[in-house]
A and B are shown apart, each in its own frame.
Chain A
């Protein structure tokens, strides 16, 4: 069995894991990260894309709010390319208690969230689709955050600092001797090969799955996976992050991100983070809430629904997961369970991922007896050096100087042949769904109706995939897509899906592809 030696082994390739591996690598530690699937396929890749100002937690969870304030400012400096500076609004609708606005404003001031009440007229001028009967509006520095860019930027930076990042490697076993974790035995999901990784410290950054990893070392970590559903609506129904000004509840945020807007979310305790069913009732409730903020929401085109699992850490049992603090938990299992060499970092949220990573790597350094300061609050991510925020027109702008010189494979998201080809050959897998996350391939209104046949042909051509594997990739994509679209199919999106049925099942007859 091949073996690797490292000072730090990080388990989990979400924002926390890549944050830890980047921070550790920047402090000069040798690092390896393993992730059972692709990077950012878990909670990070399934959140609504909100970079919190802290406003949402200002009343209920002041500690989380304070952290958000600081991290929001840091990420604006260091991860500008992942952020669209949309700004945010908290608005009081006729369903909300107008007095909460005062409490909200006070909470913001106490926790340092920059807040300003603006005239309703101004808010409506900014967001003309909002319900005209809103009575109050507060402006805060919410923004939208592209999770894939953030994770891939951290991973790239970590690699530049010498880290090894191994997606598609599942931890089979944490190897222990006399109360000490010595490393892990991992298995490649692509080749089935096993690798033994020796490490001085293992950081469990598996998020909602942290309990399962800790259990491999005989430690009990109780994570309450809180399921949140989100619906992506075609078009930007709002251009500012819009929140209801009331205590946090279901369906009270709409985040404009790229060409769509995402409404979220719910919070339901589930038994296992891999089991995230979405019910018709949950969807209906979400659409009804959307209707309260943006009248006509139910007639707008809904593209896709998905669910993510928040990793809420609990010392004791709690039934309503929203009551658990959104602040993170750092567990040193030596102190807690008498198991040396294992640290768990969990809880938290994507907005505070950097802070969590810093805390975890501080603990790692203490463990290794080294004193090296964190630099992630200063050093920008690759692509963000110039501090320019992402803006919606950037792909068009990149395309404009060379009009029509290249084939556009995905028209919805303006992805060119060269770009797709490059993504295919650099990804470790031939999974079209991974490429979708990376490039947003097939994420637009047609949901891959046109580009996925092309992408399959290109996989066959450029990746030298045999036709069986290409077929499997195509069929997997269609099934994964159906999973995300069928619960919300109606209106024009049902029309689109029917066209896609004609293309895939009628014109191409993919269901009859040879074995």
Chain B
């Protein structure tokens, strides 16, 4: 069987690309080695948080940023396209109630109390917006080792906010019955929050302890599928604004995104196969015809008319470096850009320094097709998206999900354009 499109990778870039294509009636297969960055990153869509200092408006900052970083993935897509991708995801994930946009970054507290800029935030996190200041209280859940509200609050109280806004922040610890289990993960708490008896305990434990006017921050573990209802119920019963603060992976908020996107894909007739590694290709000159995957027992080839490579960067295994310093793209052995000189220094001694390997990845044309060493598309029907692209340091720019979403969306657009 031949698919219209095979997408490699199930992070935000791969899933967004696949869903956009499936929405247009194309027959899509997603193959992935494992779940992707959704389970690691918070559910916010950061487009550009830091350039020279904190970015207030991505829309205003992007033209200059792209001019200064011509190799950046944002250099391959227009600001209009980025805006369109945000609008698209907001509609496509309407159950998560995303708000914000490209004009003004929201400032949300991280789990160490940094006011971090982001473009689009799910409704359950929106009340954490720090831009206008306010009185915040952060709730620690006894037995959750991944959240330290007093530490967060103390740092946050010193955060620099725009227009002289200021926050006051304090912490509360809530002891909760966890049964016989002593080591409950964030996902374990998320399951408990979906139970009304557990929520009763939370509300009872908090209602006498809140000060009027306080905005209440929880770790981002307020349920999976029913997170909106959980959040709504807490706001209603506590009669305070409530929001979530993302903490260590696995990201409960990101899992909600993954679940919704894959469910939507399946409804559109797409297949999602997780647990499969792409190990080679079949091609005819410049046309990619199939990808060879390693599944249980034997290799298997999936054929398609177009392909999207969204296998991620070093963190996801889309890029690898061996002990001799040789870097490779693992699915197709594509040519790479942004590498340190052979024999040159791979890393700088300061952890927060810019690292020579930072921008490594695939150079692409304006249709996001990876280029061969001569600068021509490696395959006329292969497009790349997300963290596998060269030229970005998304963890430092606060641009990860933005790049993934915009380039995933753009790769789909390029395919649709060529097919029409």
Contact indicator B155/A471 (Cβ below 8 Å): yes
Known: A470-B151, A506-B41. A491 touches B183 (CB 8 A): no
Contact indicator A467/B350 (Cβ below 8 Å): no
CB distance from B232 to the nearest CB of A (A): 26
CA gap between A457 and B50 in the complex, in Å: 25
CB distance from A70 to the nearest CB of B (A): 40
Interface residues contributed by chain A, number (CB under 8 Å): 54
Q: Please pick, from B111, B159, B182, the residue contacting A453 in the complex, using a CB distance under 8 A.
A: B111
Q: From B395, which residue of chain A is reached at the shortest CB distance?
A: A506
Query: Which of B121-129, B311-319, B372-380 has 4 or more CB atoms under 8 Å from chain A?
Result: B311-319
Contact indicator B400/A506 (Cβ below 8 Å): yes
CB distance from B158 to the nearest CB of A (A): 4
B274 at the interface (CB under 8 A from A): no
Contact indicator B114/A512 (Cβ below 8 Å): yes
| B residues less than 8 Å from A454 (CB atoms) | 145-146, 148, 248
B322 at the interface (CB under 8 A from A): yes
Known: A287-B323, A507-B111. A502 touches B400 (CB 8 A): yes
A508 at the interface (CB under 8 A from B): yes
Contact indicator B315/A507 (Cβ below 8 Å): no
Q: Please pick, from A405, A407, A461, A487, the residue contacting B150 in the complex, using a CB distance under 8 A.
A: A461
CB distance from A418 to the nearest CB of B (A): 11
CB distance from A221 to the nearest CB of B (A): 32
Known: A404-B181, A506-B394. A514 touches B111 (CB 8 A): no
A495 at the interface (CB under 8 A from B): yes
A511 at the interface (CB under 8 A from B): yes
Contact indicator A501/B347 (Cβ below 8 Å): no
- Near A by CB (< 8 A), chain B positions 318-365 give 320-325, 346-352
Contact indicator A407/B145 (Cβ below 8 Å): yes
B298 at the interface (CB under 8 A from A): no
Q: From A417, which residue of chain B is reached at the shortest CB distance?
A: B145
A482 at the interface (CB under 8 A from B): yes
Contact indicator A460/B151 (Cβ below 8 Å): yes
A329 at the interface (CB under 8 A from B): no
Q: Which of B116, B395, B398 has the most CB of A within 10 A?
A: B395
Contact indicator A457/B395 (Cβ below 8 Å): no
- Near A by CB (< 8 A), chain B positions 135-174 give 143, 145-148, 150-151, 154-155, 158-160
Contact indicator B151/A502 (Cβ below 8 Å): no
- Near A by CB (< 8 A), chain B positions 239-255 give 246-249
Q: Please pick, from B41, B150, B348, B395, the residue contacting A501 in the complex, using a CB distance under 8 A.
A: B395
Contact indicator A495/B315 (Cβ below 8 Å): yes
CB distance from B151 to the nearest CB of A (A): 4
- Near A by CB (< 8 A), chain B positions 285-328 give 313-317, 320-325
Contact indicator B352/A467 (Cβ below 8 Å): no
A505 at the interface (CB under 8 A from B): yes
Contact indicator A514/B160 (Cβ below 8 Å): yes
B209 at the interface (CB under 8 A from A): no
| B residues less than 8 Å from A491 (CB atoms) | 320-323
Known: A404-B182, A407-B145, A508-B114. A457 touches B151 (CB 8 A): yes
Known: A467-B151, A507-B248. A405 touches B182 (CB 8 A): yes
Contact indicator A406/B182 (Cβ below 8 Å): yes
CA gap between A404 and B314 in the complex, in Å: 33
| A residues less than 8 Å from B322 (CB atoms) | 298-299, 490-491
CB distance from A344 to the nearest CB of B (A): 34
Contact indicator A489/B151 (Cβ below 8 Å): no
B414 at the interface (CB under 8 A from A): no
| A residues less than 8 Å from B316 (CB atoms) | 495
CA gap between A310 and B350 in the complex, in Å: 27
Q: From B53, which residue of chain A is reached at the shortest CB distance?
A: A512
CB distance from B166 to the nearest CB of A (A): 12
Mostly helix, strand, loop or mixed at chain A's interface? Answer: helix
| B residues less than 8 Å from A474 (CB atoms) | 112
B40 at the interface (CB under 8 A from A): yes
| A residues less than 8 Å from B40 (CB atoms) | 499, 502-503, 507
| A residues less than 8 Å from B324 (CB atoms) | 284, 298
Contact indicator A494/B41 (Cβ below 8 Å): no
**Binary per-residue interface labels of chain A (407-427) against chain B in the complex, 1 for a CB within 8 Å, 0 otherwise:** 111000000010000000000
Contact indicator A404/B321 (Cβ below 8 Å): no
**Binary per-residue interface labels of chain A (57-93) against chain B in the complex, 1 for a CB within 8 Å, 0 otherwise:** 0000000000000000000000000000000000000
CB distance from A440 to the nearest CB of B (A): 18
Q: Please pick, from B37, B146, B321, B348, the residue contacting A494 in the complex, using a CB distance under 8 A.
A: B321
CA gap between A510 and B116 in the complex, in Å: 10
CA gap between A497 and B155 in the complex, in Å: 25
Q: Please pick, from A406, A457, A467, A490, the residue contacting B323 in the complex, using a CB distance under 8 A.
A: A490
B180 at the interface (CB under 8 A from A): yes
Q: Please pick, from B41, B150, B247, B396, the residue contacting A505 in the complex, using a CB distance under 8 A.
A: B396
Q: From B142, which residue of chain A is reached at the shortest CB distance?
A: A407
| B residues less than 8 Å from A457 (CB atoms) | 147-148, 151
**Binary per-residue interface labels of chain A (442-454) against chain B in the complex, 1 for a CB within 8 Å, 0 otherwise:** 0000000010011
CB distance from A26 to the nearest CB of B (A): 41
| A residues less than 8 Å from B246 (CB atoms) | 507
Contact indicator B145/A511 (Cβ below 8 Å): no
A483 at the interface (CB under 8 A from B): yes
Contact indicator B114/A498 (Cβ below 8 Å): no
Contact indicator A456/B151 (Cβ below 8 Å): yes
| B residues less than 8 Å from A453 (CB atoms) | 111-112, 146, 148, 248
Q: From B184, which residue of chain A is reached at the shortest CB distance?
A: A407
A509 at the interface (CB under 8 A from B): yes
| B residues less than 8 Å from A406 (CB atoms) | 182-183
Contact indicator B159/A514 (Cβ below 8 Å): yes
Contact indicator A461/B323 (Cβ below 8 Å): no
Known: A460-B150, A479-B351. A404 touches B180 (CB 8 A): yes
CA gap between A233 and B406 in the complex, in Å: 39
Contact indicator B320/A502 (Cβ below 8 Å): no
A371 at the interface (CB under 8 A from B): no
Q: Please pick, from B54, B112, B145, the residue contacting A510 in the complex, using a CB distance under 8 A.
A: B112
Contact indicator B154/A467 (Cβ below 8 Å): yes
Contact indicator B349/A495 (Cβ below 8 Å): no
CB distance from B170 to the nearest CB of A (A): 13
Q: From A465, which residue of chain B is reached at the shortest CB distance?
A: B151
Contact indicator B347/A487 (Cβ below 8 Å): yes
CB distance from B130 to the nearest CB of A (A): 12
B42 at the interface (CB under 8 A from A): yes
CB distance from B32 to the nearest CB of A (A): 16
Contact indicator A509/B114 (Cβ below 8 Å): yes
CB distance from A468 to the nearest CB of B (A): 9
CB distance from A364 to the nearest CB of B (A): 43
Contact indicator A498/B313 (Cβ below 8 Å): yes
Known: A499-B315, A508-B111. A513 touches B395 (CB 8 A): no
CA gap between A512 and B398 in the complex, in Å: 12
Q: Which of B112, B145, B249 has the most CB of A within 10 A?
A: B112
CA gap between A497 and B357 in the complex, in Å: 12
CB distance from A34 to the nearest CB of B (A): 31
| A residues less than 8 Å from B247 (CB atoms) | 507
| A residues less than 8 Å from B346 (CB atoms) | 486, 489
CB distance from B194 to the nearest CB of A (A): 21
| B residues less than 8 Å from A506 (CB atoms) | 41, 394-396, 398, 400
| A residues less than 8 Å from B391 (CB atoms) | none
- Near B by CB (< 8 A), chain A positions 255-285 give 284
CA gap between A316 and B225 in the complex, in Å: 75
Q: From B399, which residue of chain A is reached at the shortest CB distance?
A: A506
In the complex, the 3 A-B pairs of residues with the closest C-beta atoms, listed nearest first: A457-B148, A506-B395, A498-B315
**7 sampled A-B residue pairs with Cβ under 8 A:** A299-B322, A404-B183, A454-B146, A495-B314, A507-B40, A510-B112, A512-B116
For the complex with contacts A456-B112, A486-B346, 14 further pairs of A-B residues with Cβ separation under 8 Å are: A404-B180, A404-B182, A406-B182, A407-B183, A408-B183, A478-B351, A487-B347, A491-B321, A491-B323, A498-B313, A501-B395, A502-B395, A514-B160, A515-B158
A-binding residues in B (CB < 8 A): 37, 40-42, 50, 54, 110-116, 143, 145-148, 150-151, 154-155, 158-160, 180-183, 246-249, 313-317, 320-325, 346-352, 394-396, 398, 400
